[in-house]
Amino acid sequence: MEKLNGIKAALIDMDGTLYDSMPNHARAWMEVCRHAGLKAREADFFLLEGSTGANTINLLTRRSLGRDATEAEKADLYALKCRYFAAQPPVAVMSGARRLIDELHRRGIITVLVTGSGQNTLLDRLESDFPGAFPPERRVTSRNVSRGKPAPDPYQHGLELAGVSADRAIAIDNAPLGTQSARAAGIFTVGVVTGPIEASDLLTNGADIVYASMTECADALPQLL
């Protein structure tokens, strides 16, 4: 493929992209569902990945109980989910993620976090795991946007924080709702396969190119940029 010219910013997803955290999220959500009597399978949470907690709870409630979740239920069940997640075994940095970030910085490309998460368990680790890469003023979390992925809002807000237009940025995300969001914001979208979601699912949901891992993505950067 042709190289992308003049890229100034990389907008990067967190769970399943920077951190190998999706299995823990899925297990924590399953515990919430058992507690609240909501029907779900672990695979659901990989497909819903990138959505805000409130949206996920609303969807599960509609599916199981045929009504919307109340604001109190959204708040209570998300707090419960955060507790269950924090109690899971420690999450590892995704293999290849540090090298990818270093390679971007070496090329003078600034990095911005674009996550649907609002969980401190991982947000609080970013600075020690990726020093200088995602300072608080370059983070989009569930607290900054009301419409989460797949709406364009999170990635659009990321562009604003980076101070660049869509044609000067790339997005890196591992989930269909994330690649949809980035594409809807008009950004060249790099999909990475890091779990059960397949490359074809990312390509049909907005990814312009897909790599089989973060390591492969890091290796391919010189050909892409």
Residues at the site binding Ca ion, with contacts judged by CB under 5 A: 13, 15-16, 174-175
Query: Given the complex with Ca ion, which of 156 and 179 has the nearer CB atom?
Result: 179
| Complex with Ca ion: residue 162 or 176, whichever CB lies closer | 176
**Least distance in angstroms from the C-beta of 3 to Ca ion:** 26
Nearest 10 degrees: Cα torsion 121, 124, 130, 131: -160
Nearer to Ca ion, 36 or 149 (CB): 149
Distance of closest approach, residue 143 Cβ to Ca ion, in angstroms: 17
Whose Cβ is closer to Ca ion: residue 36's or residue 189's? 189
Using Cβ positions, the residue closest to Ca ion within the complex turns out to be: 16
Q: Who contacts 19 (Cβ-Cβ below 8 Å, separation ≥6)?
A: 91, 92, 93, 94, 97, 122
Compute the least distance from the CB of residue 17 to Ca ion, in Å: 5
Minimum distance, C-beta of residue 173 to Ca ion, in the bound complex (Å)? 6
State which residue, 175 or 202, has the beta carbon closest to Ca ion.
Answer: 175
What tokens were used for 91?
A: 């999450």
Q: How far is the CB of 31 from Ca ion (least distance, A)?
A: 20
